A and B are shown apart, each in its own frame.
Chain A
Amino acid sequence: RKEVEQDPGPFNVPEGATVAFNCTYSNSASQSFFWYRQDCRKEPKLLMSVYSSGNEDGRFTAQLNRASQYISLLIRDSKLSDSATYLCVVPTGNQFYFGTGTSLTVIP
């Protein structure tokens, strides 16, 4: 089983829609979680850190479900500029484990 798994998508949603991505992780002891955003041919950039049950930043909300070992990212009122790949990252031991990413395209 992979350390971190994501639905690769692609998710194609209209502007203004709400969209949610899930990320499952295998290590039940994990306590830190990150969502990164990666634009085409660019480096990943931190979108949100989660150290407890969840985090909210404007239109973006991350929620952690420890019992089911998944973390979700909710984007409300999608903008064209939200089109990107979203990476889930779960550090374990000495390493950071990355999901393969979920592709989002927001359509006018």
Chain B
Amino acid sequence: DVKVTQSSRYLVKRTGEKVFLECVQDMDHENMFWYRQDPGLGLRLIYFSYDVKMKEKGDIPEGYSVSREKKERFSLILESASTNQTSMYLCASSPLKRAGVGRYNEQFFGPGTRLTVL
């Protein structure tokens, strides 16, 4: 059974603080993703990674950075938290693409971290 865990369920930080959100998966998945979810906007991709030390920007990378030093761990960093980064942050992982052109495996999500920046 795939398990994706996130370091905190709820987090409250102050404007300007550096924030670390940790995500760990135990199924040896190559791909890992960070999303934020806001009402009316759905899930938006911040960053993703297909391998250790590899990262790609998603749709909204500004104000965020990531780190993937080990295959099972993908960290999201808010360099200087701002109030507009108050959101639900979801981490996901998935195996490599299936065989066959255009075939993808599904993503497995962690429980989410609800971050409030005051």
What sequence of 0s and 1s flags, for each residue 77-96 of chain A, a beta carbon within 8 Å of any chain B beta carbon?
00000000001010100111
Whether A95 touches B42, Cβ cut-off 8 Å, given contacts A30-B102, A43-B111, A44-B109, is: no
B-side contacts of A46, CB under 8 Å: 106-108
Which of B41, B48, B102, B106 contacts A31 (CB under 8 A)?
Answer: B102
Are B42 and A98 closer than 8 Å at their CB atoms? yes
Main secondary structure of the interface of A (DSSP, over half): loop
Residue ranges of B at the interface with A (Cβ–Cβ < 8 Å):
33, 35, 40-43, 45, 48, 50, 56, 58-59, 90, 98, 100-104, 106-112, 114
Which of B100, B102, B112 contacts A43 (CB under 8 A)?
Answer: B112
Are B101 and A34 closer than 8 Å at their CB atoms? no
Main secondary structure of the interface of B (DSSP, over half): loop
Are A45 and B48 closer than 8 Å at their CB atoms? no
Q: List 18 A-B contacts (CB under 8 A).
A: A31-B100, A32-B98, A32-B103, A32-B104, A34-B107, A41-B114, A43-B110, A43-B111, A44-B43, A45-B109, A87-B43, A89-B107, A91-B104, A95-B48, A96-B104, A98-B42, A98-B43, A100-B41
Tell me the smallest distance from the CB of A1 to a CB of chain B, in Å. 15
Are B48 and A43 closer than 8 Å at their CB atoms? no
Which of B43, B56, B101 contacts A94 (CB under 8 A)?
Answer: B56
**A43's closest neighbor in chain B, by CB?**
B109
Are B107 and A96 closer than 8 Å at their CB atoms? yes
Tell me the smallest distance from the CB of A91 to a CB of chain B, in Å. 4
**B9's closest neighbor in chain A, by CB?**
A41
Give A28-54 interface residues, CB cut-off 8 Å to B. Answer: 29-32, 34, 41-46, 49, 51
Tell me the smallest distance from the CB of B25 to a CB of chain A, in Å. 13
Whether A31 touches B110, Cβ cut-off 8 Å, given contacts A87-B42, A94-B48, is: no
A-side contacts of B101, CB under 8 Å: 31
Docked CA distance A84–B102 (Å): 29
A-side contacts of B40, CB under 8 Å: 8, 100
Tell me the smallest distance from the CB of A43 to a CB of chain B, in Å. 4
Are B42 and A99 closer than 8 Å at their CB atoms? yes
Docked CA distance A95–B104 (Å): 10
